[in-house]
Amino acid sequence: MQITKVVVSAAVLGIVLLGGAPAFAAVTPSTPAGGPVKVFATSNSNGGGTIVITGAIGDYGHTLTINKNGTPDPNNGNYVRITLHKGTFEVDSATFNAKANKAQPTFNRATCSAALSVTGPVTLFNGTGLYAGITGTVSITETYAFILPRFTSGKNKGQCNVSNSAQPLGQYSSITGLGTVSFS
């Protein structure tokens, strides 16, 4: 009970001394110092997703696949706009996408299941807000797994439906990365 009174009294004293603002209020963000970052993201079928970045950037928000001109392009965009709470930046993922487009999943025909993991570099640029002047490279790993349906009739009845129009029965994807950023 005595400790609680001291903590409450210190907080009240801090509020009075600082003109009404709590002594433990958050400091206004300044340009990050740069350094190592870890990226954790998910994507959806319309070219967007969510992202959390830890380390030199401690922020979260949304992703959107775009083309070189900044127009949303969920199917063919080689760039990604990262919109975080403290600013935005873009990612050039052309090299990573070229590698991912050539990768083949490991497929099990007995269970109609498949998995794929691809690792490659992306570069960061065109920052705004807290991320103005951002540069850096992040090694991204995308992991994807899915279960395909089986044909229910016809000459392929019981076989896995591996056609481009087959809708997965279940799927999982994640994007993680490690890299270093700096700010000019």
Mean per-residue pLDDT over the chain, rounded: 87
**Number of domains comprising the chain:** 1
Looking at the domain assignment, is residue 20 inside a domain?
A: no
Residue 177: give the domain boundaries: 29-183
Looking at the domain assignment, is residue 15 inside a domain?
A: no
Please, which residues have CB within 8 angstroms of residue 121's CB and are 6 or more apart in sequence?
Answer: 95, 96, 137, 138, 139, 140
Looking at the domain assignment, is residue 106 inside a domain?
A: yes
101-122 residue pLDDT tens: 999 999 999 999 999 999 999 9
Looking at the domain assignment, is residue 126 inside a domain?
A: yes
At 127, phi and psi to the nearest 5? -80, 155
Looking at the domain assignment, is residue 62 inside a domain?
A: yes
Q: What is the pLDDT of residue 60?
A: 98
pTM of the model: 0.79
Looking up tokens 């970045």, which residue turns up? 53
Query: Is the pLDDT confidence value at 22 over 70?
Result: no
Query: Is the pLDDT confidence value at 155 over 70?
Result: yes
Looking at the domain assignment, is residue 68 inside a domain?
A: yes
Instruction: Tell me how crowded residue 131 is: count the other CB atoms within 10 A of its CB.
Output: 23
Query: Is the pLDDT confidence value at 28 over 70?
Result: no
